[in-house]
Amino acid sequence: SQTIHQWPATLVQPVGSPLSLECTVEGTSNPNLYWYRQAAGRGLQLLFYSIGIDQISSEVPQNLSASRPQDRQFILSSKKLLLSDSGFYLCAWNNLANSPLHFGNGTRLTVT
């Protein structure tokens, strides 16, 4: 069966520090991969999605970037965090056009 792993679960980082969040999927090949952010009490905002290695689309201009070094690995990064980057970051995958997204457990990021 397919599983998605996301880490770390929680993170507290100072303003201006770098960020690296990692997500891996097991049990499937060539998945579509997504990074979403959820502000407290709000809906989900799509940040990046990828349909293959080195095929990444950015949805919202910001100081975040994403990379997909391997088929089932998706990384969210920042060189310098802002206070506004705080939130709940969710990685997700699917691999069929009509299938729902399957979400990881999320990373709660607090920028201080």
- Quote the CA–CA distance of 36 and 38 in Å, as a whole number: 7
49 binds another protein (CB under 8 A): yes
Residue 69 engages another protein in binding (rule: CB under 8 A): no
Minimum CB distance to another protein smaller for 84 or for 105: 105
Interaction between residue 53 and another protein (CB under 8 A): no
C-beta of residue 44 within 8 angstroms of C-beta of residue 104 = no
Binding range to another protein, per CB under 8 A, among 12-20, 42-50, 67-75, 79-87: 42-50
* 100 in contact with another protein (CB under 8 A): yes
Three-state DSSP state, 84:
helix
Q: Which is nearer to another protein, 24 or 32 (CB)?
A: 32
How far is 74 from 6, CA to CA, in rounded Å?
9
Instruction: Write down the residue that tokens 């391997």 correspond to.
Output: 70
Instruction: Kindly tell me which residue out of 3, 16, 59, 60 binds another protein, with binding defined by CB under 8 A.
Output: 59
Of 47, 110, 42, nearest to 77 (Cα)? 47
Cβ nearer to another protein, comparing 89 with 111: 89
How far apart CA 84 and CA 20 sit, in angstroms, is 16
- Summarize as ranges the residues that interact with another protein (CB under 8 A): 32, 34, 36, 42-44, 46, 49, 51, 57, 59, 90, 94, 97-106, 108
